[in-house]
Amino acid sequence: MCEYSGFESPPRELASLLVFDPYDWDTQRDPYPVYRRLRDESPCYHNDVRDFWALSRYDDVLAGLRDWERLSNVGGVALEQDDGTQARQVLSFLGMDPPEHDLLRALVSRAFTPRRVLELEPHVRALSCRYLDALCEEEECDFIDGFAGRLPMDVVSELLGVPSEDRERLRTWADTVVHREDGESGVPTRGVEAAIAILGYFRDHVAGRRRRAGAGDLTDALLAAEVDGKRLQDFDIIAFLFLMIIAGNETTTKLLGNALYWAWRHPEQRRSLHADPSGVPDWVEETLRYDPSSQLIARTASTDLELHGRQIPKGAKVALLIGSANRDERYWNDPDRFDMARNTTGSLAFGQGTHFCLGASLARLEARVALGEILLRAPGYEISEAGATRIHSANVRGFATLPVRMNP
C-alpha cells in the first residue's frame, strides 16, 4: 500500500477557480478548506471532469440523506460508476431502496440486535487490554497496525464466527478494496479481486454453517432470521457479512486513530478527560463530528433536481459531503473548533433516515471501550507526527500509520 506522509495541508494559496476532487491527494490530506469554499461559493457543485455533483451545506446533506425517493441508493454509495463486475454484489441493502431495503434490513435487524452488540463489551475490553499491554511494552509503536487496525477486525470476526487464523487475510483484502493510488477513480482490478476473494470466503463460510449450525454467532442468527415467513437468502447473508468486514472494520479503525490524534492535538481537551473520564463518549462523538471516518456518501438522482439555481439531471451521481456538513457554520457554532463539551446531536457521521448506519452502536461501543482503556493505561501517550501517513480514499478519512509512544 502506498501512502503519503503528513496529515495537514501545507500552507498554500487556494486557486481562484474552485475545484473539488475527492481523489486528489492534497484534498484528502485536508479537505476542510475546500469544503468551506464549496459551502460559500458553490453549494450545488458540479465536477466537469469526473461528472458528479456535490452538496456541502448541512441542510442539503441532511435532506439528501433522508430523500431516498429522489436520491436513490440503487447503484451504490460510491462515486465510482458500476462496471457490471462481481464487485456489484457487495452492495447488500446499501444498494437498495424501500420496500426491498426495508424487508432486508428488518431481517438483518432480527439477528443484529442491540442486545447482541452489548454482549460484546467484555470481549471488546479484553481485546483492548491485551493489545494495549503489548503496545505499552514498546518504546514506540504504530497505533494503527498494533491496535486500531486489529481491534475492529477481531470484534467483527468474533461476531461473525470467523476463525482467528483467517482475520489477517480478511483485513488485507478489506484494505485493498478501499485503497486508491494517485489518479485512480474507478474500482481498480486489485480491489475487484479482493472483493471477489471476500465474497468467496463468506460463500464458503455460510455454506459451512448451513451444514453445521450451532455456534450461536451472528452468522447463525442471520440464517435463522425470519419476518412474516420470509428468510434471508445466502446471497443476502454473504453481502451483509461483506459489508460488516468492510464498513465495520475500516471506519472504526479510522475513528480510533482520528480520536487519538485530535485529543493529542488539543491538550486542554485531553486534560478534561483526565479530570473526568466519563467524558470518553463525548470524545467519540466530537471526533465523529469534527473529522468523520466517512467523508462522503454517493446517491443517484432518480429525477431532475433543482438546487441553488442549478439543475442536477436524472441519473447523475450526487456526493453528499458529510465531512462538510459536520463543519457547516450555518448549523454549528464555531464548527472548526474541536470541543468535547459540544452538543453533537445533529452529527451526520452515521447518516440519517432509512439508511442510517446499522453498525453505529457497535462502532460507538468499540470506540468508547477502547479509548477508555487507553485513558486508563496510557494517559500520557505522545504521537510522532512526522511519521504519520494517511490512507488514499475518496470517501474514507484516517491514518494508515500513526506512530505513538504510549508512556504507560
Phi, psi (rounded to 5 degrees) for 351: 85, -170
Domains within the chain, CATH numbers bracketed: 4-9+18-405 (1.10.630.10)
- For the residues of 19-45, what is the DSSP string, one character each? ---TT-HHHHH--HHHHHHHHHH-SEE
Question: Per-residue pLDDT tens for 163-182?
Answer: 889 988 998 888 788 777 76
Q: Which residues is 142 bridged to in the sheet? A: 403
If 0-12 CB within 10 Å is exposed, 13-18 middle and 19+ buried, where does residue 211 land? exposed
Please check whether residue 27 is in contact with residue 34, taking contact to mean a CB–CB distance below 8 angstroms.
yes
Higher-pLDDT residue of 242, 1 = 242
pLDDT for the residue 184? 62
Q: Over the range 380-401, which residues count as b (16 or more CB within 10 Å of their CB) and which as e?
A: ebebeeeebbbbbbbbbbbbbb
Half-sphere exposure of 232 (CA within 13 A, CB side): 30
Higher-pLDDT residue of 13, 156 = 156
pLDDT for the residue 236? 87
pLDDT for the residue 323? 98
Question: Per-residue pLDDT tens for 359-386?
Answer: 899 999 999 999 999 999 999 999 999 9
User: Taking the model in full, what pTM does it have?
Assistant: 0.88
Where does residue 308 fall: left (phi above 0), alpha (psi -120 to 50 degrees), or beta otherwise? left
- 105-115 mean pLDDT: 86
Phi, psi (rounded to 5 degrees) for 403: -65, 130
pLDDT for the residue 186? 64
Please check whether residue 293 is in contact with residue 258, taking contact to mean a CB–CB distance below 8 angstroms.
yes
Confidence band (pLDDT; 50, 70, 90) for 81? low
Confidence band (pLDDT; 50, 70, 90) for 1? very low
Question: Per-residue pLDDT tens for 178-233?
Answer: 777 766 666 678 888 998 999 999 999 999 988 886 778 889 988 888 888 888 88
Please check whether residue 45 is in contact with residue 38, taking contact to mean a CB–CB distance below 8 angstroms.
yes
Q: Which amino acid makes up residue 371?
A: L
Please check whether residue 135 is in contact with residue 406, taking contact to mean a CB–CB distance below 8 angstroms.
yes
C-alpha triplet 49, 52, 58: angle, nearest 5°: 130
